[in-house]
């Protein structure tokens, strides 16, 4: 079975930095057509300009993906550029530390809007397009599209200061499973990747502000290292490819074994 995604068209959200950007770069290297979506237009423009072969295989789209019109415009821009959409990677993740006793905070609502609702709405739009573009095509065993949601091991761990992020991550995992069943008859596969301590923008910021943070994470990770963003990108490629043709509704965990240990107070980004 092939791991190839060459010639496929993918939308990747959260692609201005961190894991989302690593996935976008990897997909371009693998010959996919990629639309990098995020709010940071200047960063997106700069990153696309540095990508090898990006002249033909990568464009960027800047906007607030919490807005329904922005999502519709993102899909339209993708179709205008590449005529179709085969893969969606919802890689936008917002991790905020907050006081769970603060009843005046909107942290939970904001986390749900950013990490869950935006991904849900975009997935619905993309799935409808995948179904429409497959009409009239002879029935085949292979899927007509693949959606991958980036989640976190915070969904399974109790860390009060990350309550909002944990709630949103758990909801995203359940959304992945529910949508997988709902769209299976349409031959759209929906899977997830739950990340532990993989090098992301959030994790870099935390280690920069706390000299002991890296050592603390390493002590609680059986494999004794922090994961590379490229390792997450390769897992996403697998889920997007025909190699995972009989997989849907699954959450792959990439955490170096952290979830095998008793919960500890080390935020998972």
pLDDT tens, residue by residue, 91-103 = 998 777 666 666 6
Q: pTM of the predicted model, to two decimals?
A: 0.92
Q: End-to-end distance of the chain based on CA atoms, in angstroms?
A: 32
Number of domains in the chain: 1
Which of 60-69, 105-114, 153-162, 176-185 has the lowest average pLDDT?
Answer: 153-162
Distance CA 252, CA 137 (A): 31
Q: Is 11 exposed, middle or buried (0-12, 13-18, 19+ CB in 10 A)?
A: buried
Beta-carbon contacts of 8 under 8 Å, excluding residues fewer than 6 positions away, are: 32, 33, 86, 87, 240
Provide the CATH number for the domain around residue 33: 3.40.50.720
pLDDT at 52 over 90: no
**Per-residue pLDDT reduced to its tens digit, 156-202:** 877 777 888 899 999 999 999 999 999 999 999 999 999 998 887 77
At 122, list the tokens. 């975009």
Q: Flag whether 226 is in a domain.
A: yes
Tell me which H or E stretch contains 4.
Answer: none
Is 145 within a domain?
yes
Does 232 reside within a domain? Answer: yes
Task: Please give the structure tokens belonging to residue 166.
Answer: 């944990």
Asked whether residue 268 is assigned to any structural domain, the reply reads no
**Is residue 4 domain-resident?**
no
- Contact between 268 and 152 under an 8 Å Cβ cutoff? The reply is yes
pLDDT of residue 105: 67
pLDDT of residue 210: 75
Identify whether the C-beta of residue 120 lies closer than 8 Å to the C-beta of residue 90.
Answer: no
In a domain, 53, yes or no: yes
Does any domain span residue 190? yes
Domain span holding position 229? 9-134+141-257
Which tokens belong to 213? 């943070």
Q: What pLDDT was estimated at residue 141?
A: 66
Least confident of 12-26, 67-81, 205-219: 205-219
263 in a structural domain: no
Share of the chain above pLDDT 70, in %: 90
């Amino acid at each position: 079975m092939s791991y190839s995604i060459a010639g496929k068209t993918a939308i990747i959200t959260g692609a201005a930095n961190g894991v989302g950007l690593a996935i976008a770069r990897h997909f371009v290297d693998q010959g996919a057509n990629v639309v990098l979506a995020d709010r940071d237009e200047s960063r997106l423009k700069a990153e696309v300009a540095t990508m090898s072969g990006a002249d033909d295989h990568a464009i960027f789209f800047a906007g607030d993906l919490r807005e329904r019109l922005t999502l519709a415009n993102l899909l339209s821009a993708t179709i205008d550029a590449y005529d179709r959409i085969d893969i969606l990677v919802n890689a936008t993740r917002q991790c905020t530390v907050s006081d769970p006793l603060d009843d005046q905070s909107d942290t939970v609502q904001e986390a749900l809007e950013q990490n869950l609702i935006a991904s849900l709405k975009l997935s619905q739009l993309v799935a409808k397009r995948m179904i429409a573009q497959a009409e009239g095509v002879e029935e085949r065993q292979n899927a007509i599209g693949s959606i991958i949601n980036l989640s976190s091991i915070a969904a399974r761990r109790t860390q009060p200061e990350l309550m909002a992020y944990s709630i949103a991550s758990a909801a995203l995992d359940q959304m992945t499973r529910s949508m997988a069943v709902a769209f299976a008859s349409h031959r759209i596969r929906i899977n997830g990747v739950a990340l532990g301590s993989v090098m992301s923008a959030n994790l870099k910021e935390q280690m920069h502000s706390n000299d002991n943070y890296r050592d603390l994470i390493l002590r609680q990770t059986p494999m004794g290292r922090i994961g590379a963003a490229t390792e997450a990108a390769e897992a996403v490629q697998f889920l997007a490819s025909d190699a995972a043709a009989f997989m849907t509704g699954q959450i792959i965990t990439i955490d170096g074994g952290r979830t095998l240990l008793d919960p500890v107070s080390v935020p998972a980004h």
